[in-house]
Chain A
Amino acid sequence: MSATTSLSNDYSESNVAMLKAVFNGGLKLLLAPLAGIGLFLLLWSSAATSINTSLGQFPGPAAVWEQIHSLYQEHREERVKEGAFYERQEKRNAARQAKDPDYVVRIRAYTGKETYLDQIITSLVTVMSGFILAVVIAVPLGITIGLSKTLNSAINPVIQIFKPVSPLAWLPLVTMVVSSVYVSNDQLVAKSLLNSMITVTLCCLWPMVINTSLGVRSVEKDLINVSQVLNLSAFTHIKKIVLPSAIPMIFTGMRLSFGVAWMVLIAAEMLAQNPGLGKFVWDEFQNGSSNSLARIMVAVLTIGLIGFLLDRSMLKLQQWVSWNKTANS
């Protein structure tokens, strides 16, 4: 009896110890960031009360929280309005069809305002599509450049000159070119979206090309010898040897440019009034209402959070794709 008690005691003691260890570990793991965030909120709210702008007091955490709520509320209301819009449209279409049987009904998309959530999605779609377009161009280009010394020395000066150019400098040119080249009556993608997308692409392109070609060039000589001895075809060589060894570098380039692209996109949207989070910030700034600063702050936090999540997901993607699981932040 006593034996079992002591046994179970041991067990529970070790259990407690383990729990403690987990708790301590977890605490340490969580405590520091939580304390950091807490301290930040404290500093923020105390600083906010002492800053007065012509639009009123600088928003503290409470005001921002309130605006998060109200933005969400607006989103819900807009969805209700959207439902009503389609209902009215159906009725109108039915009435017209009754009068005019030849009429081919076309459902027109909702014309109401973009809510905050819509704008987040627009920005995300823009940055993703611009990024993917850049990958599609940059990775093959980088590989080609990395494989051929001649091509590298031919293209490198061009890249080196374009690399330091802020993509925002391209924006006016992109806008003009898109509006003159992209002319179709039934535009699948809005011009403004295309403008921001191409700006993002231009932003991502150079670091990706450079990193990819660097990764390709730094393939170990031994592995290239293996490939030669095996007489691998160019395609197999790239697929089996070049790409896997260049992937860490390619992803470094991708993550680098993705982060910058996200920042540039916001600026481009502000500058060109293209739909998205940047336009939201600009509109709120122009509105100059008493809620504007808090709303801009919501956007600032959203932009930061999304930027962080994008970087994390790139990292996860890298770890998933790459054979080398040691990639870290």
Chain B
Amino acid sequence: MNAQLEISHIDMVFDTPKGPFTALKGVDLKIAKGEFISLIGHSGCGKSTVLNVVAGLYQASKGGVVLNGREVTAPGPERAVVFQNHSLLPWLTAYQNVELAVDQVFGRRKSKQEKKQWIEHNLELVHMDHALHKRPDEISGGMKQRVGIARALAMQPEILLMDEPFGALDALTRAHMQDTLMEIQQELNNTVIMITHDVDEAVLLSDRIVMMTNGPEATIGEILDIDLERPRDRVQMANDAEYVRLRTEVLKFLYEKQRKVEPLVAKKKKQQEGKKAKVA
């Protein structure tokens, strides 16, 4: 496999008031161009840490990230991030939020007119062309997330990093967003790394599912190849035997091999964490 992105033996140790905490230990992964990777695992297993290291927002304590044969140590627009809670600038409209990214990435390489078209094109991709000049507080959560994706796409990134992009959305919106994402990825052939808690989402979207063990010292437990044909249709998939098998594999990993604590408590805890994430 010809790796575009290489996550090479990463350790991540955080300094906490109680002493050093090893979040990741020996995470190692090669990703080819155009591949769609899902990171799945229980809360607190370090999925976001991996993503942040790839984004360059964190520095790995050991090991490193190599993109196209060059090590990356700082964030950059070629690795666009779609944040968990959209992270739009609340004082800018949808258009202006995307514009900020486009101005930054393309600078003078595109004319004013070209930039305008490009911004509008990306907002069209996520079906947001009807609300170009609305500010984040004037649109719904799903729409905000779509603007966030449009912003990331507009940067023409080599790698698209997505941290639970649809986590906060209702089921219908989420399904719609997933379909949109599949279409776009099909069209643009971006490399995507996506964190998710949703097993169906992982199976439906991914080429490979990277399953992580529980922390501390979390690492990659298993990698599951998803050889389902594309384009994939969620309704057909529901009865597809291979799909069901893959889904069961993931569930087994999560709830048998890596079962965290007592199921009830775990559930409760997960809820709390979900809340915390929203608050943050």
Contacts and interface: CB of A to CB of B under 8 A. Distances in A.
Contacts of A223: 87, 89
B89 A229 contact: no
A240 B83 contact: no
A323 B91 contact: yes
Nearest to B100: A240
Interface string A229-247: 1111000100011001100
A323 B75 contact: no
A260 interface: no
B83 A228 contact: no
Nearest to B103: A236
Contacts of A220: 87
A226 B87 contact: yes
A222 B278 CA distance: 13
B9 interface: no
Interface string A145-171: 000000000000000000000000000
Interface string B92-113: 1000000011001100000000
B85 A229 contact: no
Interface in A215-229: 220, 222-223, 225-226, 228-229
Contacts of A222: 83, 85, 87
- Where chain A touches its partner, the secondary structure class is helix
A149 to B, nearest CB: 15
Given A231-B75, A231-B76, A231-B77, A225 B100 contact: no
For chain B, the bracket of interface size reads: 20 to 34
Contacts of A228: 56-57, 74-75
Nearest to B148: A226
Contacts of B91: 244-245, 323-324
Given A240-B89, A244-B91, A323-B135, A229 B55 contact: yes
B77 A225 contact: no
Nearest to B87: A222
B83 A226 contact: yes
B143 interface: no
B89 A231 contact: no
B135 A229 contact: no
A240 B103 CA distance: 12
Interface of A: 220, 222-223, 225-226, 228-232, 236, 240-241, 244-245, 323-324
Interface of B: 55-57, 74-77, 79-81, 83, 85, 87, 89-92, 100-101, 104-105, 135, 155
15 contacts: A220-B87, A225-B81, A225-B83, A225-B87, A229-B75, A230-B100, A230-B101, A231-B75, A232-B104, A240-B89, A240-B100, A241-B89, A244-B91, A323-B135, A324-B90
What are the nearest 3 A-B pairs in CB distance?
A323-B91, A222-B87, A228-B75
